[in-house]
Amino acid sequence: METSEIRRRFLQYFEDRGHTVVPSAPLPSPDPNLLFNVAGMAQFVPYFVGQQTPPYSRATSVQKCVRTLDIEEVGKTTRHGTFFQMNGNFSFGDYFKDKAIEYAWDLVTKPQSEGGYGFDESVLYASVYYEDDEAIELWKRIAGLPDDRIVRLGMKDNFWSMGVPGPCGPCSEILIDRGPEFGADRDWEAGDRYLEFWNLVFMQNIRGEGGGKEGYPILGELPKKNIDTGLGLERVAYLLQGVDNMYEIDEIYPVIERASELSGRKYGVDHVDDVRFRVVADHVRSALMLIGDGVTPGNEQGGYVLRRLLRRAIRSMRLLGYEDPSLVELLPVSLEQMKKSYPELEPDFGRIGQVAYAEEDAFRRTLTAGTSIFDVAVRDTKAADGVELAGAKAFQLHDTYGFPIDLTVEMAAEQGLQVDTAGFKSLMTEQRERAKADARAKKAGHADTSGYRELREKGVTEFTGYQELATDSQVRGVLRQGAIATAAEPGETVEVVLEKTPFYAESGGQIADEGLIVADGVKLQVLDVQRPVKGLIVHRVKVVEGVVQPGLDVHAEVDHEWRVEACQAHSGTHVVHAALRQVLGPNALQSGSYNKPGYLRLDFAWSSSLDQTTRSEIEEVANLAVRKDLPVSAQYMTLPEAREWGALALFGETYDESVRVVEIGGPWSRELCGGTHVKRSSQVGALTLTSESSVGAGVRRLEAFVGMEALRYLGRERALVRLLSENLKARPEELPAKVADLAERLRTAEKELERLRAGQVLAAAAELAASPKDVFGVSYVGHRAPDGVNGGDLRKLALDIRGRMVADKPAVITVLSVNDGKPAVVVALNDTAREWRLKAGDLVRVAAEKVGGRGGGKDDVAQGGGTDPAGADEALAAVEHSIGQLVTG
């Protein structure tokens, strides 16, 4: 049975039994404490913890998940995968243990001809929490399981919680006995014999403080008991498809087959190669799904995870012997399998491939640069008679060039060296701790929302801002630091919830409205507007006059100019997006946006920079659309209807079943959007693009001004052109040639100055070579050159002096200069000095240490630098002292 069919049957089964089919939430998690959704119940957390009221009592979904903790283990075992799918059915205060067990057992054992999975009942077991006698009796009654096929396990294995105080409850799992070839009889924890594939969580208790998976106190029972189940789709697939592990199921194995064809290596012959094949297949699929949900490669957060997955896949193909670009061969294979369950991937594949292939091109260039750094590190290590590459160097290769540590280890082994992996891990730990500290500082996830929930229970905040900018309303509640307050006085900054409001809450890239909320003797300045709980609009206000308290009748009014310019910017964003797609094609899809009065920023999928001609064409298409005075309208429809209508959705956003579609000029621009807009396109006013830049592999950014801000920008540009024309005594159209001529003349003058300065520096060589200092038989020249001499000229000076020294007497030359406040030092030795076992690399490190830096190089010439010019003279003396110690020691 194909994986897509297993998925379809699951959803159909529960839909037929009154469950609302809920689409998977996007992979990026809205919780700031998580990068990605890692469980089927992720999007239902607000319902389980009481932050929101569920719109249905029963639900079912297949949630896309990404697990990042086990990336290094992928391929080494048959259990670890990065992307996976979790089938689930959920009850919010509706049915409980009996129905959950009944549904699960029925679907699992029902014959395939009748829509079930057709598992043989004789090899199925159930595990339960050891104190849950109720579940044991239900398994006996509903499934007919005897006592010897019901396993009691402790809290560690069969009790669920979120790891923090809140909802929790016992679990019950369905396991399958795969036979003695997979492990010992009745061994529930070791091996793969008794494989759990469906976990039923009976959420009935409240837990207290405590760490770990067990030992925390159970404080009582929930007022409403819930069901949360998770059936591992990939696990069921390999059980039903008769293969040994998830890498060999229909959604993954074709990538292994293609990788085998490309590399000429066979899967199933060599364990090391098998691991690499599995890494490729897993990571290619994971990357496909992540990019499909709007994640782009980068150096932080989810972008870093995606980059790491792509680079590990590329590297694994290289280790399999395939040196050519591989993603262009493998990604389409994964698409063919995954589009059966996720058809939206196919029309978006142009963009997905563009992002992935651009990252591969960048990594291939990075490998070239990083390999050069690696080669230098190896040479320096061997020159110092070392056998171990420094952990700091391995970390640099990882952090700067994207080299996985195991790649560095393998490359070092080929050179007969080991790697200081302990030092590397220490630096990685430091980096992770810094990242965790930063994440903790930004944390806002499951903070106390009880005050918001209490106000939300009184009803949804009505938003009137689409129709009007001023609304008479009433204060529903006042909050101070998230807690309900009775009142707030002048000077305080608090949060206020109104019964209805015209103020737009920040979302969809549009920042919040500004304005005033007033009443008799009361004046509140609106600073920000947010939706901390779905359905509740919260205004952060500064109390300017009077006392604000619940029940107060108020007049809420948005700053008119603010809203007009905000509408211009948001509609302008849609216009630019449509212009982009018209000029560049349908793959130039928006991947993020930000707009505020007069300004817009739009990120879009594209792998190369836009030349001036293309930028001008986009700007012209956008302004022509503005001039055409196209109608702008908004209407509500179901999400499937919107997609069928061709409306574009923003990556990573979670949409309700009913969505708002904003249309500009009919099909020319149709996007899902909750923002505020102009009535006709001409109201956007002037639109001028100000910059285009890269924000990551395969993602570009356009910035623009609209309306009066665009005119002000053009006015500043015109004033600048006038000023340049006056100063250069040239007409505006002559300025490019005039500036180019001046730049060329400046470059010529700089080259001449460089030549003269180098000549002046080198002129001192003869004099310095003629009067060296004798240091225990070594001729030593320690010279501080004038400030401003660069490293290249210092090196020339040191070599020139060395060339003028007596060849049969050991000579050491140290020259130093301070350039832009930073010292640079070069040490050069002749052959005789090297025969005395002196090394330039050792001596330059002595000098560099005195100026707060580091250095290195070959035995005959080495170079270094630092940050402390005050130590320059001491550095020259330190080299002299070190020579004496080495020669006499």
Mark which of 223, 248, 273 sits at the end of a domain: 248
CATH number for the domain that contains residue 691: 3.30.980.10
Residue 103 identity: Y
Is there a domain that residue 348 lies in?
A: yes
Based on the domain organization, do 44 and 150 belong to the same domain?
A: yes
- Confidence band of 438 (pLDDT split at 50, 70, 90): low
- pLDDT above 90 for 482: no
Q: What is the pLDDT of residue 652?
A: 57
Based on the domain organization, do 673 and 586 belong to the same domain?
A: yes
The first and second tokens of residue 484, run together, are 């309900």
Based on the domain organization, do 158 and 32 belong to the same domain?
A: yes
Based on the domain organization, do 370 and 421 belong to the same domain?
A: no
Which residue has better confidence, 108 or 639? 108
- pLDDT above 90 for 843: yes
271 is known to lie in a ligand binding site = no
Q: Which helix (H) or strand (E) holds 7?
A: helix 3-15
Based on the domain organization, do 493 and 610 belong to the same domain?
A: no
CATH number for the domain that contains residue 185: 3.30.930.10
Give the C-alpha separation, 725 to 731, whole Å: 6
- pLDDT above 50 for 588: yes
- pLDDT above 70 for 440: no
Please tell me the total count of domains within the chain: 7
Is there a domain that residue 382 lies in?
A: no
Is there a domain that residue 371 lies in?
A: yes
- Confidence band of 162 (pLDDT split at 50, 70, 90): confident
Based on the domain organization, do 25 and 169 belong to the same domain?
A: yes
The first and second tokens of residue 105, run together, are 């057992």
Based on the domain organization, do 568 and 638 belong to the same domain?
A: yes
Q: What is the pLDDT of residue 632?
A: 96
Mark which of 334, 349, 376 sits at the end of a domain: 376
- pLDDT above 60 for 455: yes
Is there a domain that residue 452 lies in?
A: no
Stretch 866-879: mean pLDDT: 92
pLDDT in tens, 259-295: 999 999 999 999 989 999 999 999 999 999 999 988 8
| Least confident window among 265-269, 301-305, 370-374, 734-738 | 370-374
Is there a domain that residue 455 lies in?
A: no
pLDDT in tens, 661-672: 999 999 999 999
570 is known to lie in a ligand binding site = yes
- Confidence band of 385 (pLDDT split at 50, 70, 90): confident
Based on the domain organization, do 815 and 865 belong to the same domain?
A: yes
pLDDT in tens, 224-235: 899 999 999 999
- CA 244 from chain centre, in angstroms, equals 33
Give the C-alpha separation, 747 to 208, whole Å: 71
Is there a domain that residue 584 lies in?
A: yes
Q: What is the pLDDT of residue 134?
A: 94
- How many C-beta atoms lie closer than 10 Å to residue 547's C-beta? 14
Based on the domain organization, do 136 and 81 belong to the same domain?
A: yes
Three-state SS for 212?
coil
Give the C-alpha separation, 181 to 371, whole Å: 45
CATH number for the domain that contains residue 527: 2.40.30.130
> Taking a C-beta distance cutoff of 8 angstroms, is the pair 503, 512 a contact?
yes
Stretch 601-620: mean pLDDT: 91
Radius of gyration of the chain (CA): 34
Q: Which residues contact 546 (CB under 8 A, 6 or more apart)?
A: 490, 519, 521, 522, 523
| Least confident window among 132-141, 398-407, 821-830 | 398-407
Is there a domain that residue 129 lies in?
A: yes
495 beta partners = 479, 540
Give the C-alpha separation, 232 to 236, whole Å: 6
Q: What is the pLDDT of residue 442?
A: 42
Based on the domain organization, do 195 and 55 belong to the same domain?
A: yes
Based on the domain organization, do 218 and 274 belong to the same domain?
A: no
- pLDDT above 90 for 139: yes
Based on the domain organization, do 712 and 809 belong to the same domain?
A: no
Is there a domain that residue 721 lies in?
A: no
DSSP notation for 599-668: EEEEEEE-SSPPPHHHHHHHHHHHHHHHHTT-BEEEEEEEHHHHHHTT-B--TT----SEEEEEEETGGG
pLDDT in tens, 309-323: 998 899 899 889 998
Mark which of 376, 400, 416 sits at the end of a domain: 376
694 beta partners = 700
Which residue has better confidence, 440 or 338? 338
65 is known to lie in a ligand binding site = no
574 is known to lie in a ligand binding site = yes
pLDDT in tens, 320-336: 999 899 999 999 999 99
Predicted TM-score (pTM) of this structure: 0.69
Q: What is the pLDDT of residue 402?
A: 67
Domain that holds residue 599: 563-716
Which residue has better confidence, 51 or 115? 115
Q: Which residues contact 66 (CB under 8 A, 6 or more apart)?
A: 27, 35, 36, 37, 38, 82, 83, 84, 286, 289, 290, 305
